[in-house]
Amino acid sequence: MTNPAIILDTVSLTLQSKAGPVNILHDVSLEVSAGETVGIVGPSGSGKSSLLMLMGALERVTSGRISAFGQDYGNLNEDGLAKFRRENMGIVFQSFHLIPTMTALENVAVPLELAGRADAFDAATEALGQVGLSGRLDHYPSQLSGGEQQRVALARATVPGPAILLADEPTGNLDGSTGALIIDLLFGLQGSSKATLLLVTHDEALAARCSRVVRMADGRIMSDERGSA
C-alpha cells in the first residue's frame, strides 16, 4: 500500500426525502492507492453512485471524512472543492451530462478554460481527436449519438490530465458494442495517464478488468477483492 490517492474513513450519507431521512451509506471505509483501478459493483440502489458522488466531492458526507492526496474535503469550501476537482478529478456519468448549449469542442475546452489554460481549444481539439471525434468538433450534443456524446464526456473528463478518474456506469445508456468501445477508450486513457480509476458498473466482466473489485449492498461494502485479474 503505497501513496494513497483517496481515503474514506467511516463515511455515512443520509439524504432528506419526502418520506423522511434516508440512510444511503453506512460507515463506509475505503483506501485507494494511486494508479489503482477499482471496479465498484452491486445491485441497483446499493449506493454506488452515492459513493462516487462523495469521492468526487459533489456531495458532502453526513459523517466521517474523505480526503484525496492528503486534502481533507471537509476543510474546503464550495469554491475550494471546485478548484480541487478542477485540478485532480475527471468524472464521467451514465447520462453523459454534456452542456447542451455548447459544441463538442466547447464542452471539452470548458475545464481547461476554467483552469485558465491558454491552449484550451488546441488541447480540446487534440483530445477529441484521441476519442475519434475530429469530425464532430462543432456539433452540439443534440446532434450527436449517445456513444459520441459519451466519447465527448470522456475527452472532457480526461483532457486536464486528472489524477483520479471517476466513472459511473459510463456504458449504462449505450448498446453493447458502443459500450465496449467506450470502455476500451477509458482504460486506454487511464493506462497512458496512470490515473487512479474508480469505475461503477454492474457488469461483472467489466469489473474484472480492474485491479480491484469492491462489492456493495444496502449502502455497505460487502467485499473488497484485489488482483484477481
Partner 1 sequence: MLAWKLARRELRGSLASFRVFLTCLAIGVATIAAVGSITSAINAGLAANGRALLGGDVELRLTHRFAGAEERAWLDAEVGAISEVVSFRGMIGAPSGERALAQIKGVDGPYPLIGTIELADGDVAEALAVRDGVFGAVVEQTMMDRLELSIGDALRLGTNDVELRGVITGEPDRQASGIGLGPRVMVSQEALEGAGLLQPGSLYRVAYRLVLAEGDTAERLRARLDEAFPDAGWRWRDLSDPSPGTSRIVERIGTFLVLVGLASLAVGGVGVSAATRGYLERKTETIGTLKALGASGGLTVAIYLIQIMLLTLMGIVIGLAIGAGVPLLLAPTLRDALPVPADFGVYPVALFEAAAYGLMTALLFGLWPLAMARETPVAVLFRDVVESGRRFPRPIYLLGLFALFAALVGVTVVFSGNVMLGGFFIGGLVAALLAFALVARIIRWFARGLGRRQKITRGRPALRLALSSIGGPGSETSGVMLSLGLGLTLLSTIGQIDANLRGLIAGDISESAPAFFYLDIPSPQKEAFVMAAKKDSAIDRVETAPMLRGRIVKINGEVADPEKIAPEARWMLRGDRGLTYSSTPPEGTTLTEGAWWPEDYTGKPLLSFIEEEGRQMGLKIGDTLTVNVLGRDLSAQIANFREVEWRRMGINFTLVVNPAALQGAPHSHIATVYAAEGEEGRLTRMFAEDFPSAVAIPVRDVIERTKTLIGQLADAVRGASLATILSGFIVLIGVTAAAQRRHLFEAAVLKTLGAEQGTLMRAAVLRYLFLGSAAAALAIGIGALAAWAVMTKVFEAEFAFAAGSALIVGVLGVLATLFTCGFFARRMVAVMPAQMLRARG
Ligand X SMILES: Nc1ncnc2c1ncn2[C@@H]1O[C@H](COP(=O)(O)OP(=O)(O)O)[C@@H](O)[C@H]1O
73 near partner 1, judged by CB under 8 A: no
Instruction: Please state the closest distance from residue 43 (CB atom) to partner 1, in A.
Output: 16
- DSSP per position, the chain: --SEEEEEEEEEEEEEETTEEEEEEEEEEEEEETT-EEEEE--TTSSHHHHHHHHTTSS--SEEEEEETTEEGGG--HHHHHHHHHHHEEEE-TT----TTS-HHHHHHHHHHHTT-TTHHHHHHHHHHHTT-GGGTT--GGGS-HHHHHHHHHHHHHTT--SEEEEESTTTTS-HHHHHHHHHHHHHHHHHHT-EEEEE-S-HHHHTTSSEEEEEETTEEEEEEES--
Q: Which of 45, 80, 129, 135 binds ligand X (CB under 6 A)?
A: 45
Give whichever of 84 and 187 is closer to partner 1, judged by the CB atom: 84
Q: Which of 37, 46, 49, 125 binds Mg ion (CB under 5 A)?
A: 49
156 near partner 1, judged by CB under 8 A: yes
Give whichever of 52 and 120 is closer to ligand X, judged by the CB atom: 52
Instruction: Please state the closest distance from residue 152 (CB atom) to ligand X, in A.
Output: 23
Which spans of this chain sit near partner 1 (rule: CB under 8 A)?
A: 49, 53, 56, 58-60, 78-79, 82-83, 85-87, 91, 93-102, 106, 110-111, 113-116, 118, 120-121, 140-146, 149, 156, 173
Which spans of this chain sit near ligand X (rule: CB under 6 A)?
A: 15, 17, 22, 24, 42, 44-50
